[in-house]
């Protein structure tokens, strides 16, 4: 089953700079895909298009078989509830505890309390932070904060997980832990798309690699490494 | 939609936000209170100027002085004629004796009374109109084709220029007042818009996260809209309280004096009239609307994520 499909997708920003040019790409359910390339190559645009933070200029994007390009504005929240997002800067709310940060993601989509109370501890166990649920973000290390971010993205069990440079601020040892966690989530059946420019991680994982340069796919390799 | 109206979420978010951003909320409320207070004082003053002018307008009369040699038949004929005109509210006949009597009471103790021999004062009709604006039109009916007065009438007095000026003053003050009130309300809106924008800016990360995990726009918007209208409501309420005390303890005395000397009714400042209650309610409603609209506008940018 095709989880994500780009058909002739181009994105041209208002200042006429093309971020993506005629992209054709299929990502199957359960795949783990690295999007690699230098900054400005279109990785972030790719991710923003998937959660419809921006819209493509031409072409169509399908998620789980549904065209999201003609999605009405009031249907966007529904789309985003099925896509978990992880960021380089974690985007945690500093005045809320770990538990509250994760619960927040469920609250705002209207999940009742008993579900929140059941699911948050469960996902915290998955990311290994069960005993830190009452800590505030600034009391945690960078790796732990990223785990909270992953927990928040995954607590709703979305079929797709997008990670934009998730290890960008972390040292190699911590990054490895994060990658193990993402692999586990992928093994459960979640499709994971990760944008990165960290060579060592890509090389260690040996997963599918899609390389972008100036908005064009220049390489798509089944078990690739960073740089051909 | 069921997601939108969750009172616990809306009220909880609003009050925790007011607590977290106390200074911001305090600024917004103070701004609404001060500007709406000014708007209120101004509306009351304008309303009172208008009612002073209106009652002066309503005191405007036409005095038709009759010749001393007028026959009773002609006098009755003229009186009946005047009574049939649709513009006329009331017509009073003042006989020569009554005119003298009135003159004496008005000038009691004055030397002028000793000078008067016999009765030099004419009899007259005093005409009050339903619509004072028509005064000239009515007065001209006592003029015949040649430009003189009709038979039996000596003089018609209605202060033409004075009346015209009065009417134009009334119209101009009304327009200016409305303009100033509109400008003040707009200025308030800009101020509230900015304060709420700051409050939203302080919470932009929260909004971003909400949007990214799939909260609906209304879910994000509702607490802010409620916060805005709540601040507007409190600000408006404070303005009304200030107006009430100002009214109660400072202005009533002066106004009472004015009312007694000028026989003017319906002064808003007296607080007895419905008008003051209307102004109070309007200020609170304007406060709520200002808060609601400003936060709505301020949010638009942040909801685009």
Q: Which carries the bigger pLDDT value, residue A74 or residue B135?
A: A74
What would the DSSP string read from start to end of B55-91? HHHHH-EEEEEEPTT--HHHHHHHHHHHHH-TTEEEE
Q: Which domain holds residue A77?
A: 1-82+158-228
Query: What pLDDT was estimated at residue B253?
Result: 56
CA B183 to chain centre: 17
> Are residues A102 and A76 both part of a single domain?
no
Are residues A226 and A152 located together in one domain of the fold?
no
Contact B122, B66 (CB under 8 A): yes
B211 touches chain A (CB under 8 A): yes
3-state percent helix, strand, coil for chain B, nearest multiple of 5 = 75, 10, 20
- Residue B135 or A43, more confident: A43
Q: Do B217 and A74 touch (CB under 8 A)?
A: yes
**Mutation target vs B (from A47, A63, A77, A79; most B CBs, 10 A cutoff):** A77
Note whether residue A183 is domain-resident: yes
Distance CA A51, CA A61 (A): 11
A chain contacts of residue B209, beta-carbon cutoff 8 Å:
91, 93, 104-105
Number of domains in chain A: 2
Residue B227 distance to chain A (closest CA, Å):
18
- Count of alpha carbons within 13 Å of A45, Cβ hemisphere only? 26
In this structure, what token pair is assigned to residue B178? Answer: 């409305």
Of B205, B208, B213, the CB nearest to A109: B213
- What digits encode the pLDDT tens for the residues A93-126? 988 999 999 999 998 888 899 999 999 999 999 9
Judge contact between B57 and B166, C-beta under 8 A. yes
**In the A/B pair of chains, how many CB contacts fall below 8 A?**
50
Same domain, yes or no: A3 and A59: yes
Query: Domains in chain B, start-ordered, CATH in brackets?
Result: 7-56+165-304 (no CATH), 61-157 (3.30.70.3040)
Q: Which residue has the higher pLDDT, B185 or A193?
A: A193
Among chain A residues, the shortest Cα distance to B304 is held by A53
Give the closest-approach CA distance of B13 to chain A in angstroms: 11
Domain co-membership, A19 together with A107:
no
pLDDT at res. B3: 46
Determine contact, residues B173/B165, Cβ cutoff 8 Å: no
What integer pLDDT is reported at residue A161 of this predicted model? Answer: 96
Specify the pLDDT at position B256.
60
Pick the residue with more confidence: B60 or A50?
A50
Where does the pLDDT of residue A46 fall: very low under 50, low under 70, confident under 90, or very high at 90 and above? very high
- How many CB atoms within 10 Å of residue A112? 9
The string of DSSP codes covering B163-200 is HHHHHHHHHHHHHHHHHHHHHHHHHHHHHHHHHHHHHH
Q: Does B204 touch chain A (CB under 8 A)?
A: no
Q: Which chain B residues are within 8 Å of A152, Cβ to Cβ?
A: 213
Same domain, A171 and A151: no
What is the tens place of the pLDDT at every residue in B191-218? 778 877 777 787 788 888 888 888 888 8
Residues of A in contact with B5 (CB under 8 A): none
Out of A22-31, A161-170, B216-225, B255-264, pick the least confident: B255-264
**Whole-number pLDDT of residue B1:** 37
3 state SS of A225: coil
Positions in chain B whose pLDDT score sits under 70: 1-10, 13-14, 16-21, 159-161, 163, 249-274, 304-305
Yes or no: say if A175 and A198 are a contact pair by the CB < 8 Å rule: yes
Spell out the residues 6+ positions from residue A144 whose beta carbon is closer than 8 angstroms to its own: A129, A132
**What CATH number should be reported for the domain holding residue A53?**
3.40.50.300
pLDDT band at A16 (very low <50, low <70, confident <90, very high): confident
ipTM for the predicted complex: 0.84
């Amino acid at each position: 089953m095709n989880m994500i499909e780009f058909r002739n997708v181009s994105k041209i920003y208002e200042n006429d700079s093309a971020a993506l040019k005629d992209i054709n790409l299929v990502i199957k359910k359960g795949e783990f895909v690295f999007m690699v390339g230098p900054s400005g190559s279109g990785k972030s645009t790719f991710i923003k298009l998937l959660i419809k933070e921006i819209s493509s200029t031409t072409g169509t994007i399908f998620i789980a078989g549904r065209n999201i390009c003609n999605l009405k504005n009031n249907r966007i929240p529904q789309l985003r509830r099925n896509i978990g997002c992880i960021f380089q800067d974690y985007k945690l709310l500093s005045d809320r505890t770990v538990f509250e940060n994760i619960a927040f993601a469920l609250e705002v989509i209207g999940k009742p309390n008993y579900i929140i109370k059941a699911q948050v501890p469960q996902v915290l166990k998955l990311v290994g932070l069960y005993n830190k649920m009452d800590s505030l973000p600034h009391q945690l290390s960078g790796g732990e904060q990223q785990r909270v971010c992953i927990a928040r993205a995954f607590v709703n069990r979305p079929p797709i997980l997008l990670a934009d440079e998730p290890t960008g601020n972390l040292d190699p040892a911590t990054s490895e832990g994060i990658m193990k966690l993402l692999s586990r989530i992928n093994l459960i059946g979640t499709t994971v798309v990760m944008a990165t420019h960290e060579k060592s991680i890509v090389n260690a994982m040996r997963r599918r690699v899609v390389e972008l340069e100036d908005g064009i796919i220049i390489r798509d390799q089944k078990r690739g490494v960073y740089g051909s | 939609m069921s997601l939108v109206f969750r009172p616990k979420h809306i009220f909880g978010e609003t009050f925790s936000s007011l607590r977290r951003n106390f200074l911001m909320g305090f600024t917004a409320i103070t701004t609404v209170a001060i500007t709406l207070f000014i708007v209120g004082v101004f509306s009351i003053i304008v309303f009172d100027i208008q009612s002073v002018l209106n009652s002066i307008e309503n005191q405007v009369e036409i005095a038709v002085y009759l010749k001393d040699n007028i026959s009773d038949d002609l006098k009755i004929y003229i009186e009946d004629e005047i009574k049939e005109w649709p513009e006329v509210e009331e017509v009073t006949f003042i006989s020569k004796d009554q005119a003298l009597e009135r003159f004496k009471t008005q000038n009691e103790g004055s030397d002028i009374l000793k000078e008067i021999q016999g009765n030099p004062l004419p009899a007259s009709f005093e005409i009050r109109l339903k619509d004072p604006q028509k005064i000239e039109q009515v007065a001209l009916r006592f003029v015949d084709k040649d430009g003189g007065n009709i038979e039996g009438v000596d003089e018609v007095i209605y202060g033409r220029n004075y009346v015209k000026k009065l009417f134009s003053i009334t119209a101009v003050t009304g327009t200016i007042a409305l303009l100033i009130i509109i400008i003040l309300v707009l200025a308030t809106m800009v101020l509230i818009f900015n304060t709420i924008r700051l409050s939203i800016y302080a919470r932009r990360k929260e909004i971003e996260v909400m949007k990214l995990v799939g909260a609906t726009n209304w879910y994000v918007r509702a607490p802010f809209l409620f916060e805005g209208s709540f601040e507007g409501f409190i600000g408006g309420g404070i303005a009304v309280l200030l107006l009430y005390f100002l009214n109660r303890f400072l202005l009533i005395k002066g106004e009472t004096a004015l009312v007694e000397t000028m026989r003017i009714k319906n002064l808003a400042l007296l607080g007895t009239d419905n008008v003051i209650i209307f102004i109070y309610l309007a200020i609170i409603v304007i406060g709520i609307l200002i808060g609601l609209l400003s936060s709505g506008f301020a949010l638009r940018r942040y909801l685009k994520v």
